[in-house]
């Protein structure tokens, strides 16, 4: 939940939604069906809130709802997504039932995509045939230049071969679109997977080599050749990982901003790649490009020069196959799942095909589905409630800035300017995306996905040289998530983000909603504009230093307290949370709580002070915040997140920030000696 927009953004297809069946949220008797309280029903009263607030607030629900076999994690996000899937399935099946839908209409595209995606026998008959043209191009690779021909042909299909590419806003000129180039090309989730010595990570590396071998077998190689190809591709990727920046270092926007002419990138870093010519083939006449990690391209050049053509060929072949395996025959699908689902995430079994088809459809046709979804399922009253809440949080943030004792008047003035300029987007776009050029057919599931990827790539390229469209959304309305975009200085809050399973919006009291939405979502996203990374952007979304040197130093000193706190958490033996990599999210969690709490204290419910289900308004606020992180995950998924995710695991997103909040201590009587207690001089004090 809550995705902070990365500084290098490929155009986002709609985020995938997952789902699975859950137990009823209702407690039944022979004559009465009573709905439990939205937060009190989740509480494990055997836990002292001062010992482990996450387990206190959520423990009863987590014990009653073990992770289903088809899931790698289970909690409120997955239950919400289950509800969303039911709605999206109805939309899809209704469209598929319209046999006379006009060619090119939304109904035709949704219906044909759904029907083809659900046709397992068709996918099995075709095998790898949908990839034959791309595989033939790769088979023709005989030197570095032909390998680059193939790699550049794969980029529009969403295969980040060798490097990552995108067109997005220029960080230092937010009203202009720029070409971005960055490190990429790895098959494991993050560079540290190639080097970390922890036992589970080492097993994942071994399993990855075995997976590559089996993929080569499916592509036609014999056992000996497949084993050799797998070993050589792993060696190539390991060398690529070695020249890649670590996760924490990727959060420095200044270091990620290296603007140069394409010819300079060629001359100084990658003589093998004539960037002017390559970009021109995509109809990009770019006088400059922004290179995220120049040293990575130095390393890539060296690797390309010394790697034999057969190894480059195998690398490209297996990356293409893995990207599309889920849309090919059962054998490819099962092999891809066995490694990426079972080994890396801990899923015991695949989700049913209809859920996987919806996930793909959401990626390919997200805003078409979204337009129908909000018409049927998101009320104007809900949109108004959360628009109003955004302004309440903004006001509270402004008041908190005024009270800061460590920030100078000059920086406060700039902070107010930026806060006032934050754009809010709530529910759904005012202008819907035009999908008229996207063709969806009956020929194969994989080819429909390839068409969708090419369409998205062409749509991204078309933005270059045009005014920035600040009305565009990077998430669909049916996404249980939210984000802050520093280049637009905007918070984007999709309709689905406000859902609490089993409850209508009108049934939830302000205390819970202010914890669940104002703190963990609205306040969190606004605070991203003032975290260690977002604070470096000004009110117009430009990467520009607007802080006095002394204020920046004071901010960084305070932020380091949070880095130290999170570095100390060890969710798995030998694997700690990366406090520096997760700093932006941790600051946003803490800031969101403080600002959401300030806004909540102005509500009638807080001021009346009446208990609901035995808990005071202040207690319900914190319980509402914890509800947003109601989640548990398998060990493999936890390991993956510790190495590759800038978000801390759910438990620590509750206990970590709350251990710094004085009102939390007061609400639950937290005392010295309890695990949640921190001495006053060891607490984070930023916002």
The gap between the terminal CA atoms of the chain, to the nearest Å, is: 21
The answer, yes or no, to whether residue 27 has pLDDT greater than 70, is no
SS3 state at 84: helix
pLDDT at 26: 29
Tell me the per-residue pLDDT of 178-216, one tens digit each, with 9 for 90 and over: 999 999 999 999 999 999 999 999 999 999 999 999 999
No. of helices (H) and no. of strands (E), the chain: 27, 12
d(CA 663, CA 621): 11
pLDDT at 382: 87
Would you tell me how many other CB atoms lie within 10 Å of the CB of residue 682?
12
The answer, yes or no, to whether residue 18 has pLDDT greater than 50, is no
pLDDT at 420: 98
Question: Hey, which residues does 384 pair with through a beta bridge?
Answer: none
The superfamily in CATH containing domain 128-327 is Neutral endopeptidase , domain2 (1.10.1380.10)
Rounded to 5 degrees, φ, ψ at 240 are -65, -40
Tell me the per-residue pLDDT of 612-658, one tens digit each, with 9 for 90 and over: 999 999 999 999 999 999 999 999 999 999 999 999 999 999 999 99
Residues of the chain with CATH 1.10.1380.10: 128-327
Tell me the per-residue pLDDT of 560-575, one tens digit each, with 9 for 90 and over: 999 999 999 999 999 9
d(CA 341, CA 345): 5
**DSSP tag of 245:** P
Rounded to 5 degrees, φ, ψ at 95 are -65, -40
Residue 125, Cβ density class (10 Å: 0-12 exposed, 13-18 middle, ≥19 buried): exposed
Residues of the chain with CATH 3.40.390.10: 3-8+31-87+380-433+472-682
d(CA 586, CA 599): 20
Residue 10, Cβ density class (10 Å: 0-12 exposed, 13-18 middle, ≥19 buried): buried
Query: Of the given ranges (3-17, 410-424, 597-611), which has the lowest mean pLDDT?
Result: 3-17
Average pLDDT score over the chain: 94
Tell me the per-residue pLDDT of 86-119, one tens digit each, with 9 for 90 and over: 999 999 999 999 988 999 999 999 999 999 999 9
The model's confidence at residue 33, banded by pLDDT at 50, 70 and 90, is low
Strand duo 631-633 + 73-75: pairing: antiparallel
Per-residue HEC secondary structure of 480-525 comes to: CCCEEECCCCEEEEEHHHHCECCECHHHCCHHHHHHHHHHHHHHHH
Query: Which residues contact residue 190 at a Cβ distance below 8 angstroms, ignoring those fewer than 6 apart?
Result: 247, 643, 644
The CATH number given to 3-8+31-87+380-433+472-682 is 3.40.390.10
171 compared with 9, residue with greater pLDDT: 171
CA-based nearest residue to 661, from 632, 619, 630: 619
d(CA 685, CA 46): 31
pLDDT at 4: 40
pLDDT at 535: 97
pTM to 2 decimal places = 0.93
The model's confidence at residue 374, banded by pLDDT at 50, 70 and 90, is very high
The model's confidence at residue 6, banded by pLDDT at 50, 70 and 90, is very low
Percent of the chain at pLDDT exceeding 90: 93
User: What is the full DSSP assignment across 372-431?
Assistant: HHHHHH--HHHHHHHHHHHHHHHHHHHHHHHH-SSS-HHHHHHHHHHHHH-EEEEES-SS
Mean pLDDT within 61-73: 97
Mean pLDDT within 655-666: 98
CA-based nearest residue to 323, from 477, 509, 157: 157
Question: Hey, which residues does 4 pair with through a beta bridge?
Answer: 484
């Amino acid at each position: 939940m809550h995705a902070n927009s990365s500084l290098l953004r490929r155009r986002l297809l709609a985020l995938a939604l997952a789902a699975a069946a859950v137990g009823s949220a209702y407690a039944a008797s022979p004559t009465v069906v009573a709905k439990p309280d939205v937060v009190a029903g989740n509480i494990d009263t055997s836990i002292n809130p001062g010992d482990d607030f996450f387990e206190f607030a959520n423990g009863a629900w987590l014990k009653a709802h073990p992770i289903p076999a088809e899931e790698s994690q289970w909690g409120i996000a997955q239950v919400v997504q289950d509800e969303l899937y039911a709605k999206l399935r109805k939309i899809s099946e209704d469209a598929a039932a319209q046999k006379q839908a006009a060619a090119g209409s939304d109904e035709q595209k949704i219906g044909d995509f759904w029907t083809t995606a659900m046709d397992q026998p068709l996918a099995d008959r075709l095998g790898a045939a949908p990839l034959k043209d791309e595989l033939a191009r790769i088979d023709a690779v005989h030197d570095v230049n032909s390998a680059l021909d193939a790699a550049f042909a794969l980029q529009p299909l969403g295969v980040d071969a060798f490097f990552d590419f995108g067109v997005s806003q220029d960080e230092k000129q937010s009203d202009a679109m720029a070409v971005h180039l960055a490190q990429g090309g790895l098959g494991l989730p993050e560079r540290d997977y190639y080097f970390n010595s922890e036992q589970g990570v080492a097993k994942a590396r071994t399993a990855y080599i075995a997976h590559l071998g089996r993929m080569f077998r499916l592509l036609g190689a014999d056992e000996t050749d497949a084993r050799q190809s797998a070993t050589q591709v792993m060696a190539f990727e390991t060398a690529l990982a070695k020249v890649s920046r670590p996760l924490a270092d990727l959060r420095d926007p200044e270091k990620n901003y290296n603007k140069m002419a394409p010819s300079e990138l060629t001359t100084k870093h990658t003589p093998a790649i004539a960037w002017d010519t390559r970009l021109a083939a995509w109809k990009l006449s770019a006088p400059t490009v922004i290179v995220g990690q120049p040293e990575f391209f130095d390393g890539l050049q060296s690797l390309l020069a010394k790697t034999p053509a057969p190894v480059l060929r195998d690398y490209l072949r297996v990356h293409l196959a893995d990207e599309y395996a889920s849309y090919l025959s059962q054998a490819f699908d099962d092999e891809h799942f066995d490694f990426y689902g079972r080994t890396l995430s801990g899923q015991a079994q695949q989700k049913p095909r209809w859920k996987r088809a919806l996930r793909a459809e959401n990626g390919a046709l997200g805003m078409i589905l979204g337009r129908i979804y909000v018409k049927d399922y998101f009320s104007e009253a809900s949109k108004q409630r959360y628009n109003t809440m955004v302004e309440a949080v903004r006001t509270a943030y402004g008041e908190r800035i005024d009270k800061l004792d460590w920030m100078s008047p000059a920086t406060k003035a700039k902070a107010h300017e930026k806060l006032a300029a934050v754009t809010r987007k709530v529910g759904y776009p005012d202008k819907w995306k035009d999908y008229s050029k996207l063709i969806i057919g009956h020929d194969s599931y994989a080819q429909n996905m390839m068409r969708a990827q090419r369409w998205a790539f062409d749509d991204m390229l078309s933005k270059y040289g045009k005014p920035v469209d600040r009305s565009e959304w990077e998430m669909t309305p049916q996404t249980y998530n939210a984000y802050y975009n520093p280049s637009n200085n905007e918070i984007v809050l999709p309709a689905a983000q406000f859902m609490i399973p089993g409850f209508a919006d009108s049934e939830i009291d302000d205390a819970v909603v202010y914890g669940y939405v104002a703190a963990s979502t609205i306040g969190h996203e606004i605070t991203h504009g003032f975290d260690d990374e977002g604070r470096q952007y000004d009110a117009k979304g430009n990467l520009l230093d607007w802080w006095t040197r002394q204020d920046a130093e004071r901010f960084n000193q305070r932020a380091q307290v949070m880095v130290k706190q999170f570095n100390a958490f060890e969710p798995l033996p030998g694997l700690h949370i990366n406090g520096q990599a997760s700093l932006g999210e941790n600051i946003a969690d803490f800031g969101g709580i403080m600002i959401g709490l300030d806004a909540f204290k102005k509500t009638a419910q807080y001021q009346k002070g009446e208990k609901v289900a035995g808990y005071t308004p202040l207690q319900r606020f914190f319980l509402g915040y914890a509800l947003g992180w109601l989640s548990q995950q398998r060990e493999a998924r936890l390991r993956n997140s510790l190495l590759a995710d800038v978000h801390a695991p759910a438990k620590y997103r509750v206990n970590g920030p709350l251990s710094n909040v004085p009102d939390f201590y007061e609400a639950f009587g937290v005392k010295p000696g309890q695990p949640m207690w921190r001495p006053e001089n060891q607490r984070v004090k930023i916002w």
